[in-house]
Amino acid sequence: MRLSSNAFPDGGAIPPRFTCDGEDVSPPLAWTDVPSGAHSLVLLCDDPDAPAGTWHHWAIYDIPPDRTGLAEGAGGAGAEFKQATNDFRRPGYNGPCPPRRHGRHHYHFRLLALSVASLTLRDEPTCRDVEHEARKHVLSEATLVGVYQR
């Protein structure tokens, strides 16, 4: 599988529009080569460089396997798909917002192809809940990394 964005290249800088310094909307994402046995997809975004440990920015789950991407802003209120509560304690996407002068942070957007059509989760799951349950069913994974600093 391959995961990409027309907003930034793999390893490149995430534009401020997709961060807390801009509109804080989720970037457009596209993917290809989902395995034929996949029954659903999960998209995760986290920052392993956060001072207190990995910070979870987004989890969207139960995405149909025939879907080929998400439009800009798909992580906002009223989104088409199920979204978990992030570490900002809000459902949906909240973009990069590292501490000022903390250096460059790496934001990992990860697409997981799963062997199940839907995840069994409690009401209002966290991003950690989604990833924990999804890891039990992974067929394939693709990663796109963007960087941002303040």
Q: Where do the domains of the chain lie?
A: 2-148
Per-residue confidence (pLDDT) for residue 122, from 0 to 100: 92
Per-residue confidence (pLDDT) for residue 118, from 0 to 100: 96
Among residues 88, 69, 89, 90, the alpha carbon closest in space to that of 80 is found at 69
Per-residue confidence (pLDDT) for residue 38, from 0 to 100: 98
CA distance 26 to 29: 9
Give pTM, 2 decimals. 0.96
Per-residue confidence (pLDDT) for residue 3, from 0 to 100: 98
Q: What is the DSSP string of 1-55?
A: -EEE-SSS-TTSBPPGGGSTTTT-PPPPEEEE---TT--EEEEEEEETT-TTS-E
Per-residue confidence (pLDDT) for residue 76, from 0 to 100: 84
Superfamily of structural domain 2-148: PEBP-like (3.90.280.10)
Gyration radius (Cα) of the chain, Å: 14
Give every residue of the chain whose pLDDT is below 70, as ranges.
78
